[in-house]
């Protein structure tokens, strides 16, 4: 009780698990259909508004999708209010355009073939209804502008002037039946019009036989234009690009270096992180992912193959050799094996929307880190712990080196990542949440869903860390998993519970 007559509201419980439904699919594969290597999607990204989605594939193409349900629900607001039955609604995206971003190249100095595969796509700030985005392959970053332009359609020039209709004012006036001759460009009608000066000539019939092209229609087409190319700055393969919140700069990261670019300057970058030792034999770790803080333009984080995350402050020094904070989990005594370092390597990191938390994905787990607490992760989610006995087989077929991405919901209450057999997992990370859902990238996402046991509720702010593991029933022994079908790339809508995920050449979307 408060003040004698006011009742204190009980603390709200954890959010209920979401009921995920299939929304739509692009490029659905027919059973038995062979997938072309160039069609496999390798990057996916929502823009900040969530109204546009971009995908990149191994063929160097970038495909853009635009949300359409928010623009037109089919009925006016007043009609929707008058209806007595519920309107079935779900987010809907339509194909917008596509363009060839990168082409295969060959580095003759290093005798190295450079693939056209798109590694990352990042949206930039829009301006004047034009869309801007960055795309990169292993070596070259490109800045693209996509804008609607009116394309004028010109009619064919008709050979017979008598059949020309509406060929402009000049032609129509020249076709006049007036017998009165008129001067042409100040030339007396008595003079011949066949040749006028050295540069200008007229047909033998004079002006009446001159036919002019006519603009018949104007079509609006989307045109993608490469504004800038940022190249020749990385000796190793680029694994990350990230926009700064200042809207002017971005970073690109390869295995050993991170460079800072200005969007307006393509021939110069600044090296801000350099892990390359004087002797390459002394190399112990490489950079696996890097991302700018969503709000503070001076802060960025990068992960390493040793399972650590470093937070650096660009205000400290020009070359950020020293980190502001180091996030890593201490190794349990006696747990080290041949695979320990391999599975500890972080394949992806993402900042939460508010910048307070960092989500990281290694081979076996998702970890959520509080940037104010560097003693260890505040939550760990076991993605496929049942694969641990099969690490030797996974090493033999190179699956252990697969790089899975991760994402957070816009409200920060859930995290998601992919797995094998085209499965992906959604975990609740709010205080007291026990949500752990398994979905399949198909038209029936809940086909593989099983009941999960109850879990202890913990708060994100609690120093005690919680480990959450999902039981997958038939998949617990790993026998039914298909390691050739893996869901590596997925993205969460910035404001709604909408997940876009990639299964080979197909793009699936689910909403809740």
What does the mean pLDDT of the chain come to? Answer: 81
Q: pLDDT-derived band of residue 156, with 50, 70 and 90 as boundaries?
A: low
Which residues have CB under 8 Å from 182's CB, separation 6+? 189
Q: Residue 485 carries which DSSP code?
A: S
Closest by Cα among 377, 345, 362, 358 to 466: 377
Which residues have CB under 8 Å from 419's CB, separation 6+? 383, 384, 404, 425, 486, 487
Q: Give the position of tokens 């190295």.
A: 112
pLDDT digits (tens, 9 = 90+) for 256-276: 999 999 999 999 999 999 999
* Lowest-confidence pick of 45-54, 140-149, 196-205: 196-205
Tokens in use for 363?
């081979």
User: Quick one: pLDDT at residue 174?
Assistant: 43
CA distance 381 to 361: 10
* Lowest-confidence pick of 10-14, 405-409, 448-452: 448-452
Q: Residue 430 carries which DSSP code?
A: S
Is 134 buried (19+), middle (13-18) or exposed (0-12) by CB count in 10 A? buried
User: Quick one: pLDDT at residue 79?
Assistant: 58
pLDDT digits (tens, 9 = 90+) for 22-81: 999 998 877 777 888 999 999 999 999 999 999 999 999 999 999 998 655 455 555 555
User: Quick one: pLDDT at residue 446?
Assistant: 75
pTM for this one?
Answer: 0.78
Which residues have CB under 8 Å from 475's CB, separation 6+? 384, 386, 421, 448, 481
Give 334-365 as a DSSP string: T---TTHHHHH---EEEE-TTSSEEEEE-SSE
Does 464 have pLDDT greater than 60? no
Does 233 have pLDDT greater than 50? yes
Does 461 have pLDDT greater than 50? no
Does 196 have pLDDT greater than 70? no
Q: pLDDT-derived band of residue 143, with 50, 70 and 90 as boundaries?
A: very high
Does 10 have pLDDT greater than 90? no
Region 236-254: what's the mean pLDDT? 95
């Amino acid at each position: 009780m408060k003040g004698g007559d006011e009742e204190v509201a009980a603390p709200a419980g954890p959010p209920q698990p979401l009921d995920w439904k299939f929304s739509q699919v692009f490029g659905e594969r027919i059973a038995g259909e062979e997938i072309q290597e160039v069609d496999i999607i390798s990057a996916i990204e929502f823009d900040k508004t969530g109204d546009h989605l971009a995908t990149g594939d191994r063929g160097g193409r970038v495909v853009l999708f635009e949300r359409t349900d928010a623009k037109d629900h089919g009925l006016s607001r007043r009609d929707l209010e008058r209806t007595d039955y519920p309107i079935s609604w779900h987010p809907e995206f339509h194909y917008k355009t596509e363009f060839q971003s990168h082409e295969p190249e060959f580095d003759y100095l290093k005798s190295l073939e450079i693939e056209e595969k798109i590694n990352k796509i990042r949206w930039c700030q829009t301006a004047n209804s034009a869309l801007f985005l960055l795309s990169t392959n292993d070596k070259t970053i490109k800045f693209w502008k996509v804008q609607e332009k009116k394309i004028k359609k010109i009619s064919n020039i008709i050979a017979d002037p008598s059949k020309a209709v509406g060929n402009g004012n000049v032609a129509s006036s020249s076709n006049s039946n007036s017998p009165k001759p008129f001067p042409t460009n100040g030339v007396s009608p008595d003079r011949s019009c066949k040749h006028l000066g050295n540069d200008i000539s007229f047909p033998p019939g004079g002006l009446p036989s001159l036919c002019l092209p006519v603009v018949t229609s104007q079509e609006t087409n989307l045109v993608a234009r490469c504004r800038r190319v940022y190249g020749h700055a990385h000796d190793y393969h680029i694994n990350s690009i990230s926009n700064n919140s200042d809207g002017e700069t971005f970073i690109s990261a390869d295995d050993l270096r991170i460079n800072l670019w200005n969007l307006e300057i393509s021939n110069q970058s600044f090296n801000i992180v350099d892990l390359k030792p004087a002797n390459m034999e002394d190399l112990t770790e490489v950079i696996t992912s890097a991302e700018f803080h969503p709000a503070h333009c001076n802060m960025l984080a990068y992960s390493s193959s040793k399972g650590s995350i470093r937070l650096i402050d660009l205000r400290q020094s020009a070359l950020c050799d020293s980190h502001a904070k180091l996030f890593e989990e201490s190794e349990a005594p006696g747990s080290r094996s041949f695979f320990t370092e391999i599975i500890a390597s972080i394949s992806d990191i993402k900042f939460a929307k508010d910048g307070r938390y960092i989500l990281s994905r290694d081979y076996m787990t998702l970890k959520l880190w509080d940037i104010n607490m560097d003693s260890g992760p505040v939550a760990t989610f076991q993605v496929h712990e049942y694969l641990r006995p099969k690490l030797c087989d996974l090493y033999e077929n190179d699956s252990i080196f697969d790089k899975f991405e991760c994402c957070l919901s816009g409200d920060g209450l859930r995290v998601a990542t992919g797995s094998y057999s085209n499965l992906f997992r959604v975990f609740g990370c709010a205080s007291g949440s026990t949500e752990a859902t398994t979905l399949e990238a198909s038209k029936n996402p809940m086909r593989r869903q099983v009941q999960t046991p109850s879990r202890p509720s913990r708060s994100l702010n609690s120093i005690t860390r919680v480990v959450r593991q999902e039981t997958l029933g038939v998949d617990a022994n790993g026998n039914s998993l298909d390691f050739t079908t893996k869901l590596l790339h997925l993205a969460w809508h910035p404001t709604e519970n909408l997940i876009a995920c990639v299964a080979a050449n197909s793009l699936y979307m689910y909403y809740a």
